[in-house]
Amino acid sequence: MIQLQNFAIRRGGRLLFENATMQLHHGWKIGLTGVNGAGKSTLFAALLGSIQGDVGSLTRPAGWIVAHMAQEVESQETSAIDFVLSGDEEWWDIHQQLEHQADQLDMDTLTQLYGRFDEIHGYTAPARAAQMMAGLGFLENQIRLPVSSFSGGWRMRLNLARTLMSRSDLLLLDEPTNHLDLDAVLWLEDWLKAYEGTLVLISHDRDFLDGIVDHIIHIENAQVTLYTGNYSTFEQTRAERLSQQQQAFEKQEATRAHLQKYIDRFKAQATKARQAQSRIKQLERMQKLAPAHVDTPFTFSFREPTRMSSPLLRLDHVDAGYASKRILKTINLQITPDSRIGLLGMNGAGKSTLIKTLAGTLAPLSGERAASELLNLGYFAQHQMDALDGDASPMLQLARLAGRQISEATLRAFLGSFGFSGERMDTPCESFSGGERARLALALIVWQKPNVLILDEPTNHLDLDMRHALTMALQDFEGAVVLVSHERQLIASVCDELMLVHDGKCEAFDGDLVDYANWLRQARIDLEKQQKALTQKANEQKINDQKTSSTPVEKPALVAAPVQAITQPVPSVSSAANTGLSKEESRKEAARRREATRPLRDKIEKHEKQQQKVQLRLTEIENLLADESLYLPEQKTALLKLMTEQTELKATLEHSENETLELMLELEEMQQGFNQA
């Protein structure tokens, strides 16, 4: 349990919060909210233990393992998979000792290391790390690449995977979805739901928070308040509290005005002086209530588009991709003024390729991109902020677009609607935060009166208020919208048509975002089955090749085969059987079913035989290890060999048992399908 008692922190002479008193219990999933600068990152640092409070105390169990996501990842030549595995510090330390120092360790130390390695499921850690990386969008051929070969956004994904790899008791995540696409966000949401420790999460994605957290800590007006429920519940509860607070404030102000009026009227009269003094003391004793403070949200609207025609943009039989790789084939897509399209698809499926082709920054490999003469395209790319002139202020960059005929007052009023005021309008944007740069990039697009908006992850780095303002503005926008976003609320609020980029195609998706999440989960299940079958086949082929060449069998590889790109889900087997069959037809149908299920039953039988052999060998090893003479110094090599074989066999047995269980479930599903057909 984490306990805060009258906790207060000041930074730079400014009070961030005070009198914070609460208990955070193990297993809670907590969303940490508040406006920028309220003190969220400071409270994070205090929970991490890197800073101390000025007053009061913050305590947590001494034995807890705390995992947090650093904001930067240094360039290094370590492989991506090893970088992720190092997130489990105990696993990494034991692995390094067994890998590089086994010959230098005494028997007792080796025994303890192997025992602990088995307890923490050490031999399955590489497979879990590979699956985690696949969930976050890494391809099979990327996990062995050095960290230095990845861009900044992908390094942040690596850092997130490394953080999740820790077997932590307390997990601190600050905006973990900023560099993720929708399918990675959905995977992360499922992972965090299953996390058994205490989670403290900062996020500007309402749906993400709603799907995970069960408590909210809100920092406002130097006060830290704990709410029960998810983010939507918090918003409702806070709104009710603010309404009550506003009513109390207005009532108190009326009372104060009445008292002050009495004082002003009678304080100079001798006969009323005592009563006036009494009112003055009463006024002084009254606790000053703050008015309900709701931060003024950003408000802007898209300017009325230039003239429009229909269609504004069209792709006819387009193949898209790069010279060395064709990613999308035969794409037919028409953008009209009424188009409100949300693009769905897994990482690597081709969404960015399609977006770039629509925007005209990537030429089609074949087919035609036809643009209307009246097309005025507003394109917000994922890295749009990098295109800003770092040496120029917001005013200067907007003035370049507007021309001399627009007054400075008009430009400043426009920038003010995007949260720029005072000296920030005239400050070179190289010093701006990610959120400020994103707001400026969006403002420059809005100014140009586009009639088609192509937005690729426009909400990265935007806070909740600005995301809300963008959603409202897009709802009122009179032109066409093509949107890629990991924020489900934005897609649901703005788009009325969903298209799925998958398997080299772009087709209408029949369903909503809940249906897409279900499709995605099922697709991953189907992929894992396919991947396991391919891995088993490859291992069997390798064993056969080794037998043929009389080459000794190698020990199992450290890293299991990771998940590859999703393919179309494998259709389930169905039966043509029906009721009312004759005896001969029933016999033939039974034979057909046996034949259809034979591959599964053969695999199950094969695994069971393998398990029997492994179990027999494990029993033999346990008997050998019971011999005290084996622990003499001169028997070190033999002991080490037996212990290594034991841990490898346990890992093999666990894997085989899991495979058997899945095969049995698959067989049961197939048999149920026969019965229902």
Split at pLDDT 50, 70, 90, the class of 297 is low
User: Quick one: average pLDDT of 98-107?
Assistant: 78
* Structural domain of 271: 236-285
User: Quick one: average pLDDT of 146-173?
Assistant: 88
Q: Which of 407-411, 413-417, 566-570, 657-661 bottoms out in mean pLDDT, i.e. has the lowest?
A: 566-570
Contacts with 280 (C-beta within 8 Å, 6 or more apart), sequence order: 263, 267
Split at pLDDT 50, 70, 90, the class of 367 is very high
Is the residue at 575 inside a domain? no
Split at pLDDT 50, 70, 90, the class of 565 is very low
| pLDDT of the residue at 24 | 92
Is the residue at 156 inside a domain? yes
264 and 343 housed in the same domain:
no
Q: Indicate whether 575 pLDDT > 50.
A: no
User: Quick one: average pLDDT of 659-674?
Assistant: 72
Identity at 388, one-letter amino acid code: L
CA-to-CA distance for 469 and 508, rounded, in angstroms? 28
270 and 325 housed in the same domain:
no
344 and 481 housed in the same domain:
yes
Q: Of 594, 304, 557, which is closest to residue 449 (Cα–Cα)?
A: 304
CB atoms within 10 A of CB 282: 14
CATH number at residue 586: 1.10.287
Is the residue at 221 inside a domain? no
CA-to-CA distance for 518 and 506, rounded, in angstroms? 19
pLDDT tens-digit series, residues 7-22: 999 887 788 888 889 9
Q: DSSP for 570-583? A: PPPP-----SS--H
Is the residue at 275 inside a domain? yes
Q: Indicate whether 342 pLDDT > 90.
A: yes
510 and 413 housed in the same domain:
yes
593 and 464 housed in the same domain:
no
User: Quick one: average pLDDT of 662-677?
Assistant: 69
Exposure pattern of 228-260 as b/e (b: 16+ CB <10 Å)? eebbebbbebbeeeeeebbeeeeeeeeeeeebe
Q: Of 370, 355, 265, which is closest to residue 309 (Cα–Cα)?
A: 370
Number of structural domains the chain divides into: 4
| pLDDT of the residue at 578 | 42
What is the percent of the chain with per-residue pLDDT over 70, rounded to a whole number?
A: 83
Split at pLDDT 50, 70, 90, the class of 357 is very high
Is the residue at 632 inside a domain? yes
Q: Which of 158-162, 523-527, 537-541, 574-578 bottoms out in mean pLDDT, i.e. has the lowest?
A: 574-578
Where a domain ends, among 132, 162, 192? 162
673 and 632 housed in the same domain:
yes
Is the residue at 459 inside a domain? yes
The whole-model pTM stands at 0.64
Q: Indicate whether 64 pLDDT > 60.
A: yes
CATH number at residue 475: 3.40.50.300
Helix-helix angle 182-194:152-165, to 10 degrees:
20
Where a domain ends, among 162, 186, 208? 162
pLDDT tens-digit series, residues 477-519: 888 999 998 888 888 888 889 999 988 999 999 888 888 888 8
397 and 458 housed in the same domain:
yes
Split at pLDDT 50, 70, 90, the class of 166 is very high
pLDDT tens-digit series, residues 513-546: 888 888 888 877 777 677 667 666 766 665 666 5
348 and 262 housed in the same domain:
no
Q: Indicate whether 625 pLDDT > 80.
A: no
498 and 610 housed in the same domain:
no
Contacts with 187 (C-beta within 8 Å, 6 or more apart), sequence order: 135, 136, 520, 524
Where a domain ends, among 466, 493, 518? 518
Q: Indicate whether 62 pLDDT > 90.
A: no
Is the residue at 552 inside a domain? no
333 and 410 housed in the same domain:
yes
Is the residue at 539 inside a domain? no
pLDDT tens-digit series, residues 227-280: 999 888 888 888 777 777 667 677 767 777 777 776 777 666 655 565 666 667
User: Quick one: average pLDDT of 140-167?
Assistant: 86
Q: Indicate whether 554 pLDDT > 50.
A: no
CB atoms within 10 A of CB 95: 21
End-to-end CA distance of the chain: 53
388 and 449 housed in the same domain:
yes
| Burial classification of residue 548, based on how many CB atoms lie within 10 Å of its CB (0-12 exposed, 13-18 middle, 19 or more buried) | exposed
338 and 414 housed in the same domain:
yes
| pLDDT of the residue at 573 | 31
